[in-house]
Structure 1
Amino acid sequence: MAINMEITALEVYDDSKLIINQLLTEYKVRKYDLIPYFQLVTQLLQKFKVITLEHVPRKENQMADALANLTSSMTLGEDKAADVLICQRWVISLITKMILDNTNIISVLLVDAEEWRLPQIDYLERRKLPDDPKNRSEIRRRALRFLYYKGTLYRRSFE
């Protein structure tokens, strides 16, 4: 959005010290599935003349936390307007199409037969639960923290 608005100076605040330090290249990105995100953000940051990256501890970030909780709990139709902006698109795929037209990013992870995600995906996609009552309640409880969209399991978070 900032790129589309032709903003040249951007201040970025995040409550994750790890992410800020990775973007400042003080820490290395070790998780392979996060490398495409890191590369994309690095390319996006190059589009600005001035960038400020700053860590904000969570206890000092209560207002932003409250807004993030509010926006994640709201759903509006496309024709509706609200005071709080809601983005209902997947940011990475949208930005990848806009910025990286000639680049292919593929992340592959082999799934083990005993993979913990399989029962979670079965429940989110087909509402199928295992026979064991303990596992059933565990999967239902965990389902609130995940979203299954177009073949990918996403963990819900405030970021």
Structure 2
Amino acid sequence: MYFDGAARRDGAGAGIVFLSPEGHVLRYSFVLTELCSNNVAEYQALILGLQMAIKIGVKDVDIYGDSLLVVNQVLDEFEVEKDDLIPYHQHAIMLLNKLDYVHIGHLPRSANKMADALANLAATLALGAEEVTIIPVYNRWVVPPLEGGEITESSNMISVYQVDNDVWRQPIINFLEH
């Protein structure tokens, strides 16, 4: 499990990524409903991931996060000095004790890119308290490769499609047109 939290002036988010032994990847992004510090957002991400792992029946888990403070506090390497972090630390420890085997490790942000991106996406979104949105992410390359290094006449072609006003693409089209 990889976790990350992100806090901004106008929102906070958590990102969790589960990798199964079979290579399956489960990605989750949560908008945190209250403004908080980055350390609280990191704890929230860890706790959300632990709750999910317990709910789906995971007993053995390797956990990685890029927050040196949270990882070391959970490992009892650092003391929890800030009063506002104590309840989060206690809750995380309580959840960790429900698992049979846990390995917790720190990794640099560059090695935690997917959870970091999910947390930042959630911190950027403005969702209501009970609102859910699904954002598919696809791999695409939109410029066709040049054949023989020359531009063919068909590569300068533009296709235009009439779109009904109630289609989700219309606001984007309007923005691009005006």
TM-score range for the pair, normalised by the shorter chain length: 0.3 to 0.5
Q: Which has the larger radius of gyration?
A: 2
TM-score (norm 2): 0.41
TM-score (norm 1): 0.46
